[in-house]
């Protein structure tokens, strides 16, 4: 079962989680409508959206969860009900990104 990034990441995108991921499974979803939906500005100019964990790459190790300063990361079976849509969102994005998109949107801690 993969881990999932949820709503608290929108408008934060701290990236400490990316630094500890042994699978390098974090990607950027630069969707401005997510910021508008929750009413949070981008943390930096043009850094809209949120991070997501590619469920096809996640090792289910849990290393990322305690690193998230806004407590946005959950095991998919433990995502709070109000944020359960983020499970499908991560799957949808991961399955729609081409190899080039994955390379372009790969997230690192730097």
Q: What is the pLDDT of residues 5-17, one digit of tens each?
A: 999 999 999 999 9
Q: What are the tens digits of pLDDT across the range 93-107?
A: 999 999 999 999 999
How far apart CA 64 and CA 54 sit, in angstroms, is: 13
Query: pLDDT tens-digit profile of 10-47?
Result: 999 999 999 999 999 999 999 999 999 999 999 888 89
pTM of the predicted model as reported, rounded to 2 decimal places? 0.93
C-beta separation of 35 from 42 below 8 A: yes
User: Where are the strands (E) in 1-110, listed by range?
Assistant: 3-5, 26-29, 50-53, 73-75
From the candidate CATH numbers 3.30.70.20, 3.40.980.10, 3.30.565.10, 3.30.70.270, the one assigned to the domain spanning 3-105: 3.30.70.20
């Amino acid at each position: 079962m993969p881990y999932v990034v949820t709503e608290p990441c929108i408008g934060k995108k701290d990236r400490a989680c990316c630094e500890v991921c042994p699978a390098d499974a974090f990607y950027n979803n630069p969707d401005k409508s997510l910021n508008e939906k929750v009413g949070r500005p981008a943390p930096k100019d043009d850094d809209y959206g949120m991070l997501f964990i590619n469920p096809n790459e996640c090792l289910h190790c849990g290393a990322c969860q305690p690193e998230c300063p806004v407590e946005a990361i959950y095991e998919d079976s433990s995502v709070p009900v109000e944020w359960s849509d983020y499970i499908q969102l991560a799957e949808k994005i991961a399955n729609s990104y081409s190899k080039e998109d994955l390379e372009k949107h790969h997230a690192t801690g730097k």
